[in-house]
Amino acid sequence: MPRLYGTWRSRATRPLWLAGEIGLDLDIVPVWQAYRIDDPLAPEAPLNTRSPAFLAISPAGTVPVLDDDGLILGESLAITLHMARRWGGDLGPRDEGENALMEHWALYGATAIEDAALALQTLHGEGRQETDAGRAGIAALLARLARPLAVLEGHLARDGQMVGGRFSVADINMAEIIRYATAEPAALAPWPAIAGWLARCQSRPAFKAMWARRLAEPARP
Ligand SMILES: N[C@@H](CCC(=O)N[C@@H](CS)C(=O)NCC(=O)O)C(=O)O
């Protein structure tokens, strides 16, 4: 059985949501982010992203990590794309053209959107949104996101889904990236096609099950 290292409050949501969609059993090994632990190197600390035992598996020291029969992948989007090709049926690519598009959108999300979207979530998580600096930060981040979100809006208004006119791993990857931005309530107001598509993605039973597990997980061990 493939093994997934990570916690539900991490980018492991991406492979965990996909596994729920396709009914794939994973051997889930909890690995906490080190910043959630007071002394991550203490002998009694739970397995975490600074534990030597985990770094021996993935020296990048981040989660999620997939071990598929000795094939180790330590990038969440590489993990989901691999899972979809190997076990995903129609949630994976039907041909090389779809494969290329699924990779294209994963890379676009990771390089053009994720940083600014995550910064919006962090700003709100730290309660800075009501300060002058926070408001200026939000405006700057929304300005950075304007072009890539316009690209995504045009694509979804035309096609309805990321790739192939059906729900696929490409939707999971992009929806989980866009989710960060929704910490800012105004983020999707100019983008109705993105907002409608995200709501449809998040209404799926496998997303809801993943989200319930995530909320049930404590923030710290
Ligand atoms: N690009 C990587 C980023 C992974 C990443 O940063 N994961 C965070 C959790 S969402 C982490 O493991 N942080 C570890 C730490 O801060 O010690 C991916 O998508 O897998």
pTM metric for this prediction:
0.98
Per-residue H/E/C for the chain? CCEEECCCCCCCHHHHHHHHHHCCCCEEECCECHHHCCCCCCCCCCCECCCHHHHHHCCCCCCCEEEECCEEECCHHHHHHHHHHHHCHHHCCCCHHHHHHHHHHHHHHHHHHHHHHHHHHHHHHCCCCCCHHHHHHHHHHHHHHHHHHHHHHHHHHHHCCCECCECCHHHHHHHHHHHHHCCCCCCCCCCHHHHHHHHHHHCCHHHHHHHHHHHHCCCCC
pLDDT at 90: 98
Residue 63 Cβ contacting ligand 1 at under 6 Å: yes
Q: What residue's CA is closest to ligand 1, atom 16?
A: 33
Domain 93-203, CATH: 1.20.1050.10
pLDDT at 153: 98
Residue from 9, 11, 35, 220 to probe ligand 1 pocket by mutation (most atoms less than 8 Å from CB): 11
> What fold characterizes domain 3-90+208-216?
Glutaredoxin (3.40.30)
- The rounded Å distance from CA 56 to ligand 1 centre is 16
pLDDT at 28: 98
pLDDT at 131: 95
pLDDT at 97: 98
pLDDT at 91: 98
pLDDT at 58: 97
pLDDT at 46: 98
CATH 1.20.1050.10 segments of the chain: 93-203
Give the Cβ contact number of residue 51 at 10 Å.
19
pLDDT in tens, the chain (221 residues): 999 999 999 999 999 999 999 999 999 999 999 999 999 999 999 999 999 999 999 999 999 999 999 999 999 999 999 999 999 999 999 999 999 999 999 999 999 999 999 999 999 999 999 999 999 999 999 999 999 999 999 999 999 999 999 999 999 999 999 999 999 999 999 999 999 999 999 999 999 999 999 999 999 99
pLDDT at 196: 98
CATH 3.40.30.10 segments of the chain: 3-90+208-216
- The rounded Å distance from CA 6 to ligand 1 centre is 9
pLDDT at 113: 98
